[in-house]
Amino acid sequence: MFQLAGIIETGVNIAANRIQSRLILSDSRLIARVKDGDEEAFGEIVKRYQGFVYRQAWGYLQDDEAAKDAAQDVFVAAYKGITYLKNDSALRRWLYRICRNYCLNVIRRWKLEHKLRSEASNEVSSDAALRITIKDLISELNDPYREVIIQRYYHDLTYEQIAQVLDISLSTVKIRLFRAKKMLKRMLGEKTDEMR
């Protein structure tokens, strides 16, 4: 009797899992539903991509609260602009681009604020000062070079993953990383010369 109950329960669980897997909608279907005014479908998009957007934002901003704020603002912007999304299968890439642009604007604002206030550099330890200097130098790189550095060293992505996320070829990833590291070495050398 107990064995039969266990078999029935297992069968019910398997059937429930199959039904649930059928209910998981593709990104294209979710977007179509959002465009038709279904707000719950957008909630599903947020659930599906909130971790991805947060990680991307953190990679750029290196701050938990700023990354959380960025993720929230990215989804607000995505909700407002989803009707303009032409290729429904490119949702992940589209969210990445919104996030990247948002974060680059935040970084620009931070750089401006940084220039406007004086730093108490004598109070900062040399390791912390070096990390701040490197972070500042990375933010000065042109977007294509900054992106590959962030994806490689902050997100720990492989070259192949970077190529997929940024929608560029593997050879372009390698070239940009090589050039970005070379630029950073040169910039760091110039910065240390200024400090002497």
Q: Could you tell me if residue 6 is inside a domain?
A: no
**Of the candidates 66, 86, 117, which is a domain's last residue?**
117
Higher pLDDT, 119 or 180: 180
**Is position 12 within any domain?**
no
Contact 168, 145 (CB under 8 A): no
Whether pLDDT at 114 is above 60: yes
- Domain termination residue (choose one: 69, 100, 117): 117
pTM of the model: 0.55
**Which domain CATH number covers 125?**
1.10.10.10
Average pLDDT, the chain: 81
State the pLDDT at residue 20.
Answer: 47
What's the CA gap between 174 and 162, in Å, rounded? 10
Q: pLDDT class for 53, splitting at 50, 70, 90?
A: very high
Task: Answer whether residue 5 is part of any domain.
Answer: no
Domain tally for the chain? 2
84 and 143 co-located in one domain: no
Region 91-98: what's the mean pLDDT?
Answer: 91
Q: What's the chain look like in SS3?
A: CHHHHHHHHHHHHHHHHHHHHHHCCCHHHHHHHHHCCCHHHHHHHHHHHHHHHHHHHHHHHCCHHHHHHHHHHHHHHHHHHHHHCCCHHHHHHHHHHHHHHHHHHHHHHHHHHHHHCCCCHHHCCHHHHHHHHHHHHHHHCCHHHHHHHHHHHHCCCCHHHHHHHHCCCHHHHHHHHHHHHHHHHHHHHHHHHHHC
Residues 151 and 194 placed together within one structural domain of the fold? yes
For residue 32, what is the domain's CATH number? 1.10.1740.10
Residue 15 is assigned to a structural domain of this protein = no
If you average pLDDT over residues 17-38, what whole number do you get?
Answer: 74
Q: Do both 147 and 174 map to the same domain?
A: yes
- Residue 101 CB neighbour total at 10 angstroms: 13
Structural domain for 189, as ranges:
120-196
Identify whether 181 is part of a domain: yes
Q: Is residue 102 domain-shared with residue 140, that is, in the same domain?
A: no
Q: Phi and psi dihedrals of 192, rounded to 5? A: -70, -30
